[in-house]
Amino acid sequence: MILDKQLRTAGERLLDIDDKAHKLSAPYADTLPVKALDVVSKLGDQPELRTISAVVIAIGTFAGNDRLVRAGARMMIAHEAATAVKDVTKVEVDRTRPRSASGRKDKKPKPGNHTAKEKTSFPSGHSAGAIAAARAFSRQFPEYGSAALGAAAFIALSQIPRRAHYPTDVAAGIAIGLAAEKAVDLAWEVARMDERGQSNRH
């Protein structure tokens, strides 16, 4: 009973944060800087991230750079894993996007099965995919990890002023991206160990 009350209180506090962010961003929705974020935000969309991953693989292949090939492959797999988790979650949770919400009730996540874009704000797919791909890239190129993750974080946070997502949508997307990429990394390492083991036996 006490735990239920604490969870409800925490939920209302998070909703307060989302509500404030929504109201703060509303007056700037049609300004040039926010519209410019639409262009940057596109880099976190599924087709763009798939293309970027494929280009990294292609460059690595033609340049004979195995490190780049591995980075691109990891980016692709991590992005697809994060997207799969995001898609399943979106079907299970209904939430009206900030740009379409008319009141606090619309902003509250609830169980559902909507597939319409304006009803599936939770979680942020751009955030999940961008973070997963950036973290995967940083596994092969740790020297550029901060830059890659910084760019992904910018894409994720840009969803808030664009009124495409609430802060909690973005946070959930980032968590999904990191968790999906970590699962891919663990599977990748197991596969490498198995490969090395087979090579040693031969």
- Note the pLDDT tens digit of each residue in 96-105: 999 998 888 8
For residue 192, is pLDDT > 90?
Answer: no
- Residues 6+ away with beta carbon under 8 Å from 166: 18, 21, 22, 95, 98, 107, 121, 122, 160
What are the Cα distances from residue 75, in Å, to 2, 61, 64?
43, 15, 18
- Residue 164 has a CB neighbour count (10 Å cut-off) of 21
| Least confidently predicted of 85-94, 108-117, 137-146 | 108-117
Query: How many whole angstroms separate alpha carbon 99 and alpha carbon 138?
Result: 33
Q: Candidates 1.20.144, 1.20.1300, 1.10.3470, 1.20.140; correct CATH number of 2-201?
A: 1.20.144
Going by C-alpha positions, the residue among 171, 127, 121, 164 that lies closest to residue 149 is 127
Query: How many whole angstroms separate alpha carbon 137 and alpha carbon 180?
Result: 14
User: What's the pLDDT score for residue 1?
Assistant: 60
Please indicate whether residue 118 or residue 191 has the higher confidence score (pLDDT): 118
Instruction: Give the chain's largest Cα–Cα span.
Output: 67
Contact 109, 94 (CB under 8 A): yes
Please give the average per-residue pLDDT across 26-50, as a whole number: 91
Going by C-alpha positions, the residue among 146, 139, 149 that lies closest to residue 183 is 139
pTM across the whole model: 0.90
For residue 196, is pLDDT > 90?
Answer: no
Beta-bridge partner residues of 157: none
- Residue 106 has a CB neighbour count (10 Å cut-off) of 17
Tell me the two tokens of residue 40.
Answer: 């940057």
For residue 193, is pLDDT > 80?
Answer: no
